[in-house]
Structure 1
Amino acid sequence: MPQVQLSWGSATHIGQREENQDRFLAVPPVFAVADGMGGHAAGAEAAQKAVDSLSKTIGQPTLTVQALQDAIRMADEGIRSLGEADISMVGAGTTVAGVALVEDAGELCWAVFHIGDSRVYAWTPTSWGQVTVDHSLVQVLIESGHVAPENAATHPQRNIVTRALGVGAGGDADVTMLPVGEGQRFLVCSDGLSNEVPEDRLAELIGSDTTPDVTAQRMVAEAVENGGRDNIAAVVLHVVDVLPSG
């Protein structure tokens, strides 16, 4: 399989909240963001559980989709066990979203995964857009025709998620497979970023000549300047080069 040269950066900010419950992982082959919910200690602990579980997959060039889903299931089980051991942790949950470099049918691919309303965006010199589809009440209302997409960002119920790790029915993450290509760029973020910075501005920032680390810091800084009502986390990933195998 071909070899991939990557560059990445990350940033986070507490925003106007009392505690930062966003967590992120940016170590090949996994780049992810988790946004905790369920009270101060519970939300932070749930997001950390998600990152810790995914961290067990690092240290190898690629994963399989099965290994990725296994790590997410392990996180879900670990978060649920928090409430069983400590009543103050009942209701702990977290979103999670990210990209993982995987081997699928002998091909090198990106597995874009998510549960909840944390997002993954993909950029190339000729395209830009959100890859994930939010697991949120507003998304349900959009798909049913009850809310116009342009009104989603200001809808009063925009923060209600329909799926999360640790709560509800559980299940696997949604996964979208993308081919690996030179010049690709990804943004993985919590809703504290996507709710504060317009998508066209995010595209402008990720398409700039700055390093991924500087880009992530600028995105988070602009979210803070625009109100920063929630915790904010961003991971920016560049595919610098794709080298042929052998």
Structure 2
Amino acid sequence: MPETTTQTHRVSDELQISWAGITDRGRRRENNQDAYLAKFPLFVVADGMGGHAGGEIASQSTVARLEEMVDTGAVSSEALELALHNAVDDIHSHSESTDEGTGTTLTGAYLERDESGVWQWIVLNIGDSRVYLERDNSLVQVTTDHSVVQELIASGKISPEEADGHPYSNVITRAVGASELVPPDYVTVDLRDQDRLIICSDGLTKELTDYGILHFLRENDDPAAAVDAMVDAALENGGRDNVTMIVLRVSLTTEAVEGSSSTEDEIAE
């Protein structure tokens, strides 16, 4: 596997974003149906499903369409959803992705300015891959899974502790390509100095608890070191699925931190 490296993009004099991404087949899968894109300003993870090759085609087609969008310089919810519609057409037209249920999850974030010119993350999600925010030495799950067990948890029929062993724990209710496309859920996250976003497929969260993720973030400030440590731990814990993740770190100057202190933190609500 190529050495993981941290990449950095200076957005402005006040803001710098650093990141690293990695994907691994895991220890039990014959192929890797995950894919990811880490290309400023968009960072996403896709976890494919369906048939021997169908899931791989679905995730790679989706990432390819999103990369085309990034290359045009027009990253927005409207452009993203158009790219996803094109990805669905690609998936359905491919001879090896005709199995029922072929599709992919998609989760991640892109950076944009709000109407007042303040930078913010737009977190997006379809399926049960996840985005976490690490801030002030604590971890918060930003996305909400689109899954049967999450619906059962929300309705009070099972507890979060019962979800892992539930017979429907792998059944998702929304995906790109598996049915008529439903727009992603979007959550806005303000930027704070030293914030980190963790974007991951469920191959990571099957093997590491939230506390485990936070532990490795505390131990590894550098994004590349953090993703390597977490993927290694996931493999040591069984590696039952493909494992893919991106870690993003925000660096703000003092002036920018003071200027962002008045922005609303929707995650804390």
- TM-score calculated relative to the size of structure 2: 0.83
1:40 paired with 2:52, answer yes
> Can you give the 5+ residue segments of structure 2 that lack an aligned partner in the other structure?
1-10, 260-269
- Aligned pairs for 1:1-246 (under 5 A) are 4-15=15-26, 16-59=28-71, 63-82=75-94, 86=95, 89-91=98-100, 92-105=102-115, 106-241=117-252, 244=256
Q: In percent, how many aligned pairs have the same letter? A: 40
Deviations 1:224-244 (A, max 9, x none): 111111111111111123575
SS at match of 1:216: helix
Cα deviation for residue 62 of structure 1 reads: 7.7
CA distance in 2, matches of 1:81, 1:148: 40
Cα deviation for residue 107 of structure 1 reads: 3.2
CA distance in 2, matches of 1:103, 1:61: 14
User: What letter matches 1:74 in structure 2?
Assistant: N
Native 8 Å contact 2:46 2:106 kept in 1: yes
Native 8 Å contact 1:29 1:100 kept in 2: yes
Give the length in aligned residue pairs.
242
Native 8 Å contact 1:136 1:160 kept in 2: yes
CA distance in 2, matches of 1:132, 1:37: 20
Bigger shift: residues 229-238 or 86-95:
86-95
SS at match of 1:157: coil
Deviations 1:191-237 (A, max 9, x none): 01011111101012123343101111111111111111111111111
User: What letter matches 2:82 in structure 1?
Assistant: D
SS at match of 2:164: helix
Relative to 1, partners in 2 of residues 1:179 and 1:231: Cα closer, same or farther, differing over 3 Å?
Answer: same
Native 8 Å contact 1:99 1:111 kept in 2: yes
- What is the Cα-based RMSD across aligned positions, in Å? 2.1
Cα deviation for residue 88 of structure 1 reads: 5.2
Cα deviation for residue 11 of structure 1 reads: 1.7
Cα deviation for residue 152 of structure 1 reads: 1.2
Deviations 1:19-76 (A, max 9, x none): 0111111111011110010112111010001111111233588833322333233323
By relative contact order (CA 8 Å, sep 6+), the higher-ranking structure is 1
Native 8 Å contact 2:107 2:124 kept in 1: yes
Relative to 1, partners in 2 of residues 1:229 and 1:209: Cα closer, same or farther, differing over 3 Å?
Answer: closer
SS at match of 1:71: helix
Relative to 1, partners in 2 of residues 1:146 and 1:39: Cα closer, same or farther, differing over 3 Å?
Answer: same
CA distance in 2, matches of 1:143, 1:72: 28
Cα deviation for residue 14 of structure 1 reads: 1.0
Native 8 Å contact 1:62 1:101 kept in 2: no
CA distance in 2, matches of 1:209, 1:174: 30
SS at match of 1:154: coil
